[in-house]
Amino acid sequence: MGVPRTVPVKGGYTEHYAELLWVSSQLPEWRAVFAALAEFIRELIVAGTREGLAAAKARGRVGGRPTVVTPDLLRAARDMLPNPEHSVTSIAKLLGVSPGTLYNHIPNLRELRAGRRPSALETGSR
């Protein structure tokens, strides 16, 4: 039995072993070509994604998870924070949010917790 002159591959046969060996011997060069092609395709995908997000923003659509925080909820949390009987965790549980949500939406939470009025509220600016 001799060496076959063609190699079975998905969808058909390649021409000859010699060509197959030539391609495999040129692998580093081909790797560079495919890397450049992959980088180009990635740039196209990123550009398309940015264009789509910009178009959605122009239509008034915003991505991401909807917020559960309302001005009334923030006001209630700010009113309860100076009271030492309530912890941040208990206030968050009472309002139906996580403590992290309070920390994210009330930047001066630590000052309120200490019982001081934040400097921005003392001057009346906001």
Does residue 98 fall inside a structural domain? Answer: yes
Does residue 17 fall inside a structural domain? Answer: yes
Does residue 66 fall inside a structural domain? Answer: no
Q: Answer yes or no: do 22 and 44 share one domain.
A: yes
- Which of 33, 58, 83 is a domain's end point? 58
Q: Answer yes or no: do 75 and 54 share one domain.
A: no
Q: Are 111 and 99 in contact (CB under 8 A)?
A: no
Q: How confident is the model at residue 84 (pLDDT cuts 50, 70, 90)?
A: confident
Q: How confident is the model at residue 34 (pLDDT cuts 50, 70, 90)?
A: confident
88 pLDDT higher than 70: yes
Rg of the chain (C-alpha set)? 31
- Size of the chain in residues: 126
Q: What is the span of the domain harbouring residue 53?
A: 8-58
Q: Are 81 and 109 in contact (CB under 8 A)?
A: yes
- State the CB neighbour count (10 A cutoff) for residue 91: 21
Which residues face 8 on adjacent strands? 13
Q: How confident is the model at residue 35 (pLDDT cuts 50, 70, 90)?
A: confident
Q: Answer yes or no: do 54 and 82 share one domain.
A: no
User: How many domains is the chain built from?
Assistant: 2
Is the pTM higher than 0.85? The answer reads no
